[in-house]
């Protein structure tokens, strides 16, 4: 049984997605239960895979028994086990959260479709993580993207359809660029297996075809994870989608695309190529600081809470790319912890925004007056995630920024230290604003929200938020847990196969 | 030199030209349907690129004929590489799905806004967000 886990992780959500359509015909309520169960099973399988990979090293699964490099290979190693666990955990939390949220914010008539498409999205994401075949990566990328476009449009907000359309156009350009990159690599090597490519490419590193392919990969995945100048689609897509969808887009979809780029950078190409042959680090050294500062400054200017969170994502992506560019183990560890970090925090924060919108329909930050007393659990979780985003010690946000700062010093680029400090202060500014309105202002008089008593969201929405906030604290205090997995993955990436 | 560059690699010039036509339509056109047409041209260009790399000079279809079993020496007959065709079959399916989702979105945009012109939708959005 356990030798088939790498494929089961992908198949469970896939078949459950089809099952939801069938079950939805007879019993609409079954949809949520199946989705939660499927994501939970995927999470359980991921934990088991991570444990197996940690104990025994790289797990290779041959699809249909065909030997790689001819057949498709699924690979679970330190890195993919780590990312797999994070993504499936967040997917499970959001599935649990969705029960009440979707009924109200998406509508009963679309409930079945929502969960089926949600599971297809998870299928695509988990598939992208475990696959060891670069064309298979493209196929899963498109499965995840298509499900993502549909989910953005599923909500009741009018602008969401246009946001989804723009996301589709830019997302497809990104995916086609990835496809072109794969074509170029296949043209010169005749193989699609990542490990095999790694062995064949070094002799061709100065071939223009291989260089072009790499450029296509960076731009293609960069479009998908909103690398700074390519981020425009993210703002409207993440802010207008239903909050549960924004949460999975920010926490999982962005992260998996970053993961895909890391895979291509370190598994298909080698550290030697990305740091010595192409000037990728130099480009990231310019893009990342601009992304970090621009994201944070624009977030301060926002009055809509979801738009603020969307801008903040751009800055956080900047941190991850900065860590990738620094080319040492400490910084790469920081980047990988930041992937966990941002998945927890931004996933959590969008869910919290969802809770607030579910109960009050308030998007405007200045109307959150006195919310700290009316929704104490929600706002407490918001405060913890916010502090973590700022990087206050004892939260997980501190750990990744600490590693990034150490990595910056190790690389001898001390001038990035003020950048990290300034951007943390800017982050503090925009989160503090929310906390101030929520806790230090008297509640708005009741006529502002007629006929409505504001109370906590349903318990099933609060539990995932509570768990996520708790993990922000646990990983912040017991920092050795994420640190060990991330360090091992970083060591593995820089060290070789 | 220049002529060689064009003549020797003319397939690539075709695919790049086609790709840029599609790209231009996706970026510059205001009509949402025209953007989808651009998207299709853009994808088709990449499909052509894949198919073109499968061919080698004087090669034949990759079918093993019954009478040539055993008698066929390796190296005497060159086959076109069938793998890119298979990959592109998958990519075409993906392309069709993308088009379907995009068209479904345009239908909903039309029902909501009564227009499929990008600028007019933006104006309507500004008036009543």
Check CB contact of B15 with chain A, cutoff 8 Å. Answer: no
**DSSP string for residues in A295-337:** HHHHHHH--BHHHHHHHHHHHHHHHHHHHHHT-SHHHHHHHHH
Q: Locate the chain A residue with the closest alpha carbon to B33.
A: A165
The DSSP element (H or E) to which A210 belongs, if any, is helix A208-224
pLDDT tens-digit profile of B19-60?
999 999 998 988 999 999 999 999 999 999 999 888 877 777
Q: Which residue of B has its CA nearest to A141?
A: B94
Look up the ipTM and state it. 0.91
Residue A323: the pLDDT is 92
Interface test mutation site (partner A, options B95, B101, B109, max chain A beta carbons within 10 A) = B101
DSSP assignment, residue A58?
A: -
Q: What pLDDT is stored for residue A497 in this prediction?
A: 44
Residue B32: what pLDDT? 93
Between A329-360 and A78-105, two packed helices, what is the crossing angle to 10 degrees? 10
Cis ω on the peptide bond leading into residue A69 (within 30° of 0)?
Answer: yes
Chain A residues within an 8 Å CB radius of B54 = none
Nearest Cβ partner for B94 among A139, A153, A183:
A139
Q: Is any Cβ of chain A less than 8 angstroms from the Cβ of B21? A: no
Could you tell me if A87 and A343 are in contact, meaning their C-beta atoms sit under 8 angstroms apart?
yes
Distance CA A252, CA A246 (A): 10
**Buried b or exposed e, range A44-66, using 16+ CB within 10 angstroms:** ebbebbbebbeeeeebebbbeee
Which phi and psi (to 5°) does residue A152 adopt? -60, -40
Encode pLDDT of A235-257 as tens digits: 989 999 999 999 999 999 999 99
Helix (H) or strand (E) holding A73: strand A73-76
CA neighbor of A345 nearest in space, from A372, A304, A312: A312
3-class DSSP state for residue A391?
coil
CB-closest option in A142, A146, A161 to B112: A161
Picking from A303, A263, A210, the residue whose alpha carbon sits closest to that of residue B129 is A303
Contact yes or no for B87 and A150 at CB 8 A:
no
Q: How far is B66 from chain A (nearest CA, A)?
A: 25
**Residue B80: pLDDT band with limits 50, 70, 90:** confident
Residues A378, A385: contact at Cβ < 8 Å? no
User: Per residue in A464-477, pLDDT tens?
Assistant: 999 999 999 999 88
Cβ of A162 within 8 Å of Cβ of B121? The answer is yes
What are the residue ranges of helices labelled H in A411-479? 416-439, 459-477
pLDDT of residue A445: 56
Q: Which residues of A touch B94 (CB under 8 A)?
A: 139, 142
User: pLDDT at residue B93 above 90?
Assistant: yes
- Residues B102 and A325: their CA atoms lie apart, in Å, by 36
Furthest CA-CA distance within chain B: 76
Residue A240 CA neighbour count, 13 Å, CB half: 24
**Which of the residues B5, B105, B120, B128 would you substitute to probe the A interface, choosing the one with the greatest number of A C-beta atoms within 10 Å?**
B105
DSSP tally for chain A: helices H, then strands E: 21, 2
Of A142, A168, A183, the CB nearest to B50: A183
Give the per-residue pLDDT at A276: 87
A458 pLDDT band (50/70/90 cuts)?
confident
What residues in B contact A158, CB-CB < 8 Å?
Answer: 112, 125
Residue B97, pLDDT score: 94
**What distances in angstroms separate CA A147 from CA A10, A364, B71, one per listed residue?**
15, 29, 51
Q: Check B42 against A176: CB less than 8 A apart.
A: yes
- The rounded percent of chain A whose pLDDT value lies above 70 is 97
Nearest CA in chain B to A187: B53
- Strand pairing class (A59-62; A73-76): antiparallel
Contact A15, A75 (CB under 8 A): no
Residues of chain B with Cβ-Cβ distance to A142 below 8 Å are 94, 97-98
Asked if the Cβ–Cβ distance from B49 to A180 is below 8 Å, we say: yes
- The pLDDT mean for chain A works out to 90
């Amino acid at each position: 049984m356990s030798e088939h886990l790498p494929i089961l992780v992908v198949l469970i959500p896939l078949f459950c997605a089809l099952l939801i359509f069938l079950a939805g015909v007879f019993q609409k309520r079954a949809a949520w239960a199946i989705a939660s169960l499927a994501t939970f099973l995927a999470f359980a399988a991921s934990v088991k895979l991570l444990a197996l990979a940690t104990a025994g090293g790289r797990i290779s699964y041959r699809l249909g028994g065909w030997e790689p490099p001819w057949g498709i290979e699924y690979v679970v190693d330190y890195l993919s086990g780590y990312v797999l666990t994070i993504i499936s955990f967040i997917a499970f939390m959001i599935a649990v959260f969705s029960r009440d949220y979707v009924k109200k914010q998406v509508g009963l008539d679309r409930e079945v479709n929502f969960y089926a498409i949600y599971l297809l999205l998870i299928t695509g994401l988990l598939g992208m993580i475990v696959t060891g075949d670069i064309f298979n990566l493209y196929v899963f990328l498109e499965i995840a993207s298509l499900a993502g476009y549909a989910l953005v449009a599923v909500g009741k907000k009018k602008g969401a359809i246009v946001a989804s359309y723009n996301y589709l156009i830019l997302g497809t350009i990104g995916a086609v660029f990835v496809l072109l990159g794969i074509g170029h690599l296949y043209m010169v090597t005749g193989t699609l297996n990542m490990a095999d490519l790694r062995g064949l490419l070094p002799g061709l590193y100065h071939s223009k075809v291989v260089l072009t392919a790499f450029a296509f990969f960076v731009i293609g995945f960069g479009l998908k994870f909103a690398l700074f100048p390519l981020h425009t689609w993210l703002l409207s897509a993440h802010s207008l989608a239903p909050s549960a969808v924004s949460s999975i887009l920010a926490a999982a979809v962005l992260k998996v695309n970053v993961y895909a780029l890391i895979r291509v950078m370190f598994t298909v190409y080698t550290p030697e190529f990305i740091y010595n042959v192409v000037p990728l680090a130099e480009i990231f050294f310019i893009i990342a600081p601009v992304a970090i500062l621009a994201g944070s400054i624009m977030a301060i200017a926002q009055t809509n809470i979801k738009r603020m969170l969307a801008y903040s994502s751009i800055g956080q992506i900047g941190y991850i790319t900065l860590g990738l560019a620094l080319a040492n183990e400490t910084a790469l560890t920081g980047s990988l912890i930041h992937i966990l970090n941002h998945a927890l925090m931004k996933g959590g924060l969008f869910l919290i925004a969802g809770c607030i919108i579910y109960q009050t329909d308030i998007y405007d930050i200045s109307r959150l007056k006195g919310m700290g007393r009316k929704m104490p659990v929600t706002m407490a979780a918001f405060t913890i995630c916010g502090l973590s985003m700022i990087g206050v010690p004892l939260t997980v946000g501190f750990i990744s920024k600490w590693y990034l700062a150490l990595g910056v010093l190790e690389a001898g680029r001390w001038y990035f230290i003020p950048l990290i400090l300034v951007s943390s202060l800017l982050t503090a500014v925009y989160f503090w604003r929310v906390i101030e309105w929520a806790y230090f202002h008297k509640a708005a008089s009741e006529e502002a929200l007629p006929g409505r008593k504001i109370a906590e969201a349903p318990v099933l929405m609060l539990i995932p938020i509570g768990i996520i906030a708790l993990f922000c604290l646990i990983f912040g205090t017991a920092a050795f847990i994420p640190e060990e997995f991330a360090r091992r993955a970083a060591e593995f990436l820089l060290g070789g196969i | 030199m220049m002529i060689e560059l064009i003549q020797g690699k003319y397939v690539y010039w075709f695919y790049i030209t086609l790709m840029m036509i599609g790209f231009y339509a996706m970026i510059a056109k205001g009509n949402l349907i025209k953007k989808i047409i651009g998207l299709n041209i853009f994808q088709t260009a990449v499909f052509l690129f894949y198919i073109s790399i499968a061919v080698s000079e004087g090669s034949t279809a990759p079918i093993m004929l019954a009478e040539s079993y055993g008698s066929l020496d390796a190296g005497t007959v060159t086959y076109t590489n069938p793998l890119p065709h298979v990959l592109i079959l998958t990519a075409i399916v993906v392309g069709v799905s993308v088009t379907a989702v995009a068209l479904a979105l345009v239908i909903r945009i039309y029902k909501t806004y009564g227009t499929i012109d990008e600028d007019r939708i933006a104006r309507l959005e500004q008036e009543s967000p």
